[in-house]
Amino acid sequence: MLAQQLVNGLQLGGAYALVAVGYTLIFGVLNLLHLAHGEVFMVGAYVGLALALAGAPFWAALLGGMAGAAVLGLVIERVAFRPVRDRGSHVTPLMTTIAVSLVLQHAVVKLYGAEPVAFPQVFAVVPVSLGPVTVTSLQLVILGTSLALMALLDLVLRRTWLGRAIRATAENPTVASLLGVNVSLAIVAVFVLASALAGAAGVLLAANFTAVTPFFGVKVGLKALAVMLVGGLGNVPGAMVGGVLVGVVEALSVGYLASSYRDAFAFGVMILILLVRPTGLFGARLAAV
């Protein structure tokens, strides 16, 4: 039972971490919150849904969701951040991104309606026993994909010139520019990466919950925002660990307490952590980014 809930939690937490990492990357380079990031996640889910309904295999729906979300992230950077980046206060982008999130929710309502749309079963979900635990093939795919994407992100940030440019920009944009980094381009790259990861999480969680609504991104977005704080502002490894932690807490509360209080437990634990450690579990921007 415990092992079973842990597996459920890891799978949920992996998807939260993918969204939280995006928040933290964007906060890392801009010191600004992207309040439409939950809607990027939601749109990614719908793109994946549309492809799956059209008969695409799961991997294609996943890649499509990532690509769709990446393009959306690019547009959001252009319309909601760049025009107000160097002017106005830190509140301005909060307003512009809230506006974007409302527009996106209502656009999807127009297209698909406000009711949940069932995510088609994209492959045969078979139980797999791993010792005492029984997991489904879907759970394995979700967990494996989240882990692989996070490992890939870590690799990009640590080992590639793009990743170095992003990390330098996050730490000090002026110094980065003196080193030859095109800071505007690095910021665009961050939006593309963050949004693609959110899109992947959207498709994975849609397949997990078997349905999506246009408001699918609100709760997950809020939770991922809290995960970012728990992991430490701008701290990428912190967001990864924090996401997994929150997923596990949530799954354990479903397993042992009451399923209807799962969000209360998830947020309760995060609030507790922040009361004890206001800069998050791992401090702001400890390791990479």
Interface positions with another protein (CB under 8 A): 161, 164-165, 167-168, 171-172, 174-175, 177-183, 285-289
Nearer to another protein, 159 or 277 (CB): 159
Find the shortest distance in angstroms from Cβ 34 to another protein: 22
Find the shortest distance in angstroms from Cβ 175 to another protein: 4
Distance CA 79, CA 264 (A): 35
Find the shortest distance in angstroms from Cβ 19 to another protein: 23
Find the shortest distance in angstroms from Cβ 178 to another protein: 5
Residues linked to residue 129 through DSSP beta bridges, in sequence order? 134
Q: How far is CA 219 from CA 114, 225, 233, 273, in A?
A: 16, 10, 20, 19
Distance CA 200, CA 46 (A): 11
Nearer to another protein, 129 or 161 (CB): 161
What would the 3-class secondary structure string for 230-287 be? HHCCCCHHHHHHHHHHHHHHHHHHHHHCCHHHHHHHHHHHHHHHHHHCCCCCCCCCCC
Find the shortest distance in angstroms from Cβ 196 to another protein: 24
Nearer to another protein, 101 or 169 (CB): 169
Q: Strand, helix or coil at 172?
A: coil
Nearer to another protein, 65 or 237 (CB): 237
Find the shortest distance in angstroms from Cβ 183 to another protein: 7
**DSSP 8-state code for residue 120:** P
Q: Strand, helix or coil at 125?
A: coil
Find the shortest distance in angstroms from Cβ 236 to another protein: 11
Nearer to another protein, 94 or 162 (CB): 162
CA-closest candidate to residue 8, choices 151, 121, 136 = 136
How many residues are recorded in the chain?
A: 289
Handedness of CA 165, 68, 73, 10 (dihedral sign): negative
How many CB atoms sit inside 10 A of residue 144's CB?
12
Nearer to another protein, 28 or 44 (CB): 28
Nearer to another protein, 120 or 283 (CB): 283
